[in-house]
Amino acid sequence: MGIKEPSFTLGVEEEYLLVDKETRSLVIDPPDTLMAEAQEKCGEQVTSELLKSQIEIGTKVCRNIQEAHEDLARLRRNVIEVANNHGLAPIAASTHPFSAWTDQKHTEKDRYDQLTSEMQGAARRLLICGMHVHVGIDDDELRIDLMNQMSYFLPHLLALSCSSPFWLGRDTGLKSYRLTIFDALPRTGVPERFASWAEYERHVGILQNAGLIEDSTRIWWDLRPSGRFPTLETRVMDVCTRLNDTVALAALASCIMRMLWRLRMRNQRWRLYTPMLIRENRWRAMRYSFDEGLIDLAQGQVRPFDELLDELCSLISEDAKALGCEKEIKGVHDILTRGTSAHRQLRDYELERASGATAEEALKSVVDTLITDTTEGL
pLDDT reported for residue 53: 95
Query: Cβ(112)–Cβ(52) under 8 Å?
Result: no
Q: Is the pLDDT of residue 121 over 90?
A: no
Q: H or E stretch including 296?
A: strand 294-296
Longest distance between any two alpha carbons in the chain, whole Å: 69
Query: Cβ(161)–Cβ(237) under 8 Å?
Result: yes
How many Cα neighbours within 13 Å face the side chain of 302?
Answer: 11
CATH number at residue 114: 3.30.590.20
Residues 237 and 155: their CA atoms lie apart, in Å, by 9
What's the rounded mean pLDDT across residues 1-21? 90
Strand 220-221 relative to strand 188-189, pairing: parallel
Tell whether the torsion through CA atoms of 88, 15, 252 and 138 is positive or negative.
Answer: negative
| 3 occurs within a structural domain | no
pLDDT reported for residue 2: 59
| 160 occurs within a structural domain | yes
What's the rounded mean pLDDT across residues 98-115? 88
pLDDT reported for residue 109: 80
| 197 occurs within a structural domain | yes
pLDDT reported for residue 104: 93
| 4 occurs within a structural domain | no
- Kindly give the interhelix angle for 197-209 and 140-150, rounded to the nearest 10 degrees: 90
Q: Is the pLDDT of residue 3 over 80?
A: no
pLDDT reported for residue 358: 98
Q: Is the pLDDT of residue 145 over 90?
A: yes
Q: H or E stretch including 310?
A: helix 305-315
Percentage of residues in the chain having pLDDT higher than 70? 99
Number of other CB atoms surrounding residue 268 within 10 Å: 9
pLDDT band at 106 (very low <50, low <70, confident <90, very high): confident
Amino acid at 252: L
Mean pLDDT, all residues of the chain: 96
pLDDT reported for residue 354: 98
| 49 occurs within a structural domain | yes
Residues 102 and 206: their CA atoms lie apart, in Å, by 35
How deeply is 74 buried, as exposed, middle or buried, from its count of CB atoms within 10 A (0-12, 13-18, 19+)? middle
Query: Cβ(75)–Cβ(18) under 8 Å?
Result: no
In 3-state terms, what secondary structure has residue 215?
Answer: coil
Q: Is the pLDDT of residue 18 over 90?
A: yes
| 328 occurs within a structural domain | yes
| 2 occurs within a structural domain | no
Residues 125 and 104: their CA atoms lie apart, in Å, by 9
* 306-358 residue pLDDT tens: 999 999 999 999 999 999 999 999 999 999 999 999 999 999 999 999 999 99
Name the residue range of residue 166's domain: 10-374
Residue-wise DSSP of 106-134: B---HHHHHHHHHHTHHHHT----BEEEE
Q: Is the pLDDT of residue 1 over 80?
A: no
How many folded domains does the chain comprise?
1
In Å, how far are 201, 319, 328 from 66, measured between CA atoms?
A: 34, 15, 9
Distance of CA 150 to the CA centre of its chain: 15
pLDDT band at 44 (very low <50, low <70, confident <90, very high): very high
What's the rounded mean pLDDT across residues 91-110? 93
* 207-246 residue pLDDT tens: 999 999 999 999 999 999 998 999 999 999 999 999 999 9
